[in-house]
Amino acid sequence: MPSSTQVQLVRRPRGWPTEEDFRTVSVELGDLAPGQVRVRNEFLSVDPYMRGRMNDGPSYAPPYALGETMTGAAVGRVEESTSDELPVGALVLHGLGWRDVTQADASAFRRVEEIPGGPSSLHLGLFGMPGLTAYAGLTAVAGLREGERVFVSGAAGAVGTAAGQIARLLGARTVIGSAGSAEKVALLTSRYGYDVALNYKEAPIREQLRAAAPEGIDVFFDNVGGDHLEAALDVLNPNGRAAVCGSISAYNDSAPKPGPDNLSRIVTRTLTLRGFLVGQHPDLADEYREAVTRWFAAGELAYDETVVDGVENAVTAFLSMLRGGNTGKMVVRV
């Protein structure tokens, strides 16, 4: 009988999660029932939104169950199949999360294309949910128009590296990004289409952004919240739009922190701040897949991945990502 190594949440973290909030278990897998497949995962995704689901409180998704295996995006290959739809060898995307091997009904898996010139992990990043998030945020949520000025917070992450490049491909005039290290900042301008990159650990982002955006910004793509939102509100031009994708700066706060001191600009500059989830934009999935495939094939989209090996290190990878240890998408290689 094959077995599956899985990582489970056993305690709700308060503040920063620790290794003790999780456990690694080995589960014996039975024989495949008719219509099932066994998938050996190649890569598991760790994403910021997962932090919210570890809490008990209401979030946009239901809380993770304690004592059960962490769910989340993963990509793998069918190694045994009793399903006509998914033959052995098929590359599949699924939501069954932090485990090395999984078996379930074929309907739990979605077959995806091999990506010419790219690893299967791109289905968890640029070609997957983070890429579509960047695209939907810039287009449907923020209504980016050609010639506009854009600021992306958390620009060196999975969503941010996609957002900078997509903003440029969509005709943005200026793209400014923020990140938390000199290396990331250098990469943003050299590789990801950012005109200006700001290291928020070097000086207050508010001062830096004001200096970097003398003509203001029209669109803010926010992954960070807190001081970054405050900085953006200072420089958003009249009728500016913020696509609020995340607020990673606050995910591990054990007590609420006061917000920006300049929210009155929402009125005086007639701004729109709009929170969104990629799941609200299923209509864009085909359009984005077509665009990203074309752009990537033409060499117009770069990507980085930070790879941690071993399903048993999924928690380590997740915590590192929350602390900004990744450049581009953080993935766990099984």
Q: Provide the binding-site residues for a copy of itself, judged by CB under 8 A.
A: 52, 58-60, 225, 229, 238, 244-247, 250, 256-277, 280
Calpha distance 210→226 (Å, rounded) = 16
Asked whether the CA dihedral 87, 92, 96, 102 is positive or negative, the reply is: positive
Minimal distance, residue 42 CB to a copy of itself, in Å:
30
Minimal distance, residue 267 CB to a copy of itself, in Å:
4
- State how beta strands 272-275 and 109-111 pair: unpaired
Minimal distance, residue 23 CB to a copy of itself, in Å:
27
Which is closer to a copy of itself, CB of 90 or CB of 233?
Answer: 233
Minimal distance, residue 251 CB to a copy of itself, in Å:
8
Contact 66, 9 (CB under 8 A): yes
Which is closer to a copy of itself, CB of 5 or CB of 262?
Answer: 262
Calpha distance 241→142 (Å, rounded) = 5
Calpha distance 164→282 (Å, rounded) = 22
**Residue whose tokens read 């929350």:** 322
Contact 88, 80 (CB under 8 A): yes
Among candidates 309, 267, 334, which has minimal Cα distance to 76?
334
Which is closer to a copy of itself, CB of 205 or CB of 244?
Answer: 244
Minimal distance, residue 279 CB to a copy of itself, in Å:
9
Which is closer to a copy of itself, CB of 105 or CB of 253?
Answer: 253
Which is closer to a copy of itself, CB of 87 or CB of 279?
Answer: 279
